[in-house]
Copies of this chain bind each other. A is one copy, B any other.
Amino acid sequence: MTKRFDSAVERAGPRFAPWLSDTNDLTSRNIEASRIPGLVNLSGGLPDPVLLPTKALGRIATTVIRDYPHDCFGYGPTAGLPQLREAIARRYRARGVPVVAENVLVTASGTQTLDLVGKLLAVPGDTIVCEFPSYAGAFDAWRPRDPKYRHLGLRAGDDLRANMAGAAFAYLIPNFSNPTGYLVTEEERLRLIAAAWTSGTPLVEDDPYGSLYYDGDPIPTMLRLASLGRENLDDCPVIHLASLSKQLAPGMRIGWIIAAPATIRALNTAKQATDLCSNGLAQCMAAAAMEAGLIEECHPRIVSLYRTRRDALCAAMSRHIDDWFTWEVPVGGMFVWATARDPRIDVDLLVDVGMETGVLVGAGHHFDPLRIAPPAIRLSFTFNDETKLELGISRLAQALEALGTRASSVPQRSCSSEMGA
C-alpha cells in the first residue's frame, strides 16, 4: 500500500491516500438531493431546524462572552474547558454514574469522538467488531486506520466473548441503532459488558440518540450498567460517546467521551494532534445551557414532534409499501430500517428510480460492509413533516411499481401489527 508519484501524471495533481476513494456516496447523494426542487429526502438523518432554540442560545452567547471572554476566544485546554467537563460529569452523576471531570474529554462533535477512538485504539490491520448493519459515518471515520471488520452477532445470539476476543474494540449504538433503530435490551447490554470484561476488549457505546425515547422508560446505558456498585470508572470497560447534536444544536459541534482516566489522558494526546482544542464559545455555551436546564426545556418538544413523525412515516409505509418491505417500529431515534421481502431487489436501482420519482432513500448496504443483512433501505422521519412523509412514501411506492419487483410472497409482518394500532 505505497503511493508514489508517476512522472507521467505529475501535471494531473497529487495522488490521494487510497482510503479516500472507498467512501460511500450517501452524503454526495444527500447534497445532490438538496439541489432538486421538491424532492423528499428520507435518507439523511437531519434534525428539524424548527427545533433549534436559537433565541435562548443567542441570549446564552451574549452572557458567556460578557462573563468569560478569554474562555470564549483564547486557547483552551485540549480536554475541554473545566466548567464544561464538570457540567457533563454532573449530568451523568445525576443518573447514577460515578463520572468526574477527569472521565470527560470534550470533542468537536460526535464524529470527532469516532475519529479519536479510531486513532486511540486501532492500528492498521486491527479488527473492529460491530453489530451489522451499523453507522456508515463510523466506517468513514475509521477508514484511515485501515481496519478489518467482524460481526458481533448480538441479535443472532452468538458467543460475544469469542467474537470480541482480540479485537481493537467493539462498537455499538445501543439506543436506536443507526441505521436499524434497534434498541438493545438490558439483558443484552449486560451480556455485552460481561463479554468486554472476559475478552479484555473495550466496548465503545455510541449514544447520540439516548434522549430520543418515544415509548417507555429508558434502558440504562452500558456505561451505567458497567459502573453499578462501583465508586469510579477506573477499570470500566465501556468507552461512552455522546453529543449535543440531537439534544440541542448540531452546529455547536459539541460531543464528549466518558471513559477511565487513563483512556481520557491518551485521548487528550490524540485530540491535541487532531485540533488542539475545541471552540471556546461553544463550550462556554454548552456549559451554560446545561446549567440553565435548556436541554431539559427543549426535550419534550423534540420527542413529541419526532414521535408524531415516526408514527406518520410508519402509517404511510403500511399504506403504501407493506407489500415490498417489512420493518420494526423503532422505540426511539431517527430511523426506520425496512427489509425487502424479496431478497432479489436491486436497492441501488430503487434509489435511482426513487430519485426520478422525487424521493431519496438510503441504500442499506452502505451500513453493512460484510453483507450480514438482507437487502434493505434506511428511512429517516425527523426532518420532514407528516405531509412530506406521506408524499415521500407514496413516491417510493411508485418507484417500486416502476421497478417491477413486487414480491408475490405472503407478507411476513405488517407495520400495523407492530404498532399495536
Contacts and interface: CB of A to CB of B under 8 A. Distances in A.
B54 A58 contact: no
B275 A115 contact: yes
A407 interface: no
A162 B174 CA distance: 54
A115 B274 contact: yes
Contacts of A215: none
B54 A69 contact: yes
A251 B137 contact: no
Question: What is the total number of copies of this protein in its complex?
Answer: 2
Contacts of A250: 73-75
Contact of A65 (B9, B58, B119, B279): B58
Interface stretch (A105-113, A326-334, A388-396): A105-113
Nearest to A54: B69
Given A61-B65, A65-B61, A253-B108, A52 B73 contact: yes
Interface stretch (A16-24, A184-192, A345-353): A16-24
A72 B251 contact: yes
A10 B200 CA distance: 5
Contacts of A111: 273-276
A202 interface: yes
Contacts of A166: 4-5
B123 A260 contact: no
Contacts of A356: none
A57 interface: yes
Interface of A: 1-7, 9-11, 13-14, 16-20, 23, 27, 31, 46-47, 49, 52, 54, 57-58, 61-62, 65-66, 69-78, 108-109, 111-112, 115, 119-126, 137, 140-141, 143-146, 165-166, 168-169, 197, 199-202, 235, 245, 249-253, 260, 262-263, 266, 269-270, 272-282
17 contacts: A1-B124, A3-B126, A3-B168, A4-B166, A14-B263, A17-B119, A23-B272, A52-B69, A57-B72, A62-B62, A74-B251, A140-B272, A144-B144, A252-B279, A252-B280, A253-B280, A282-B282
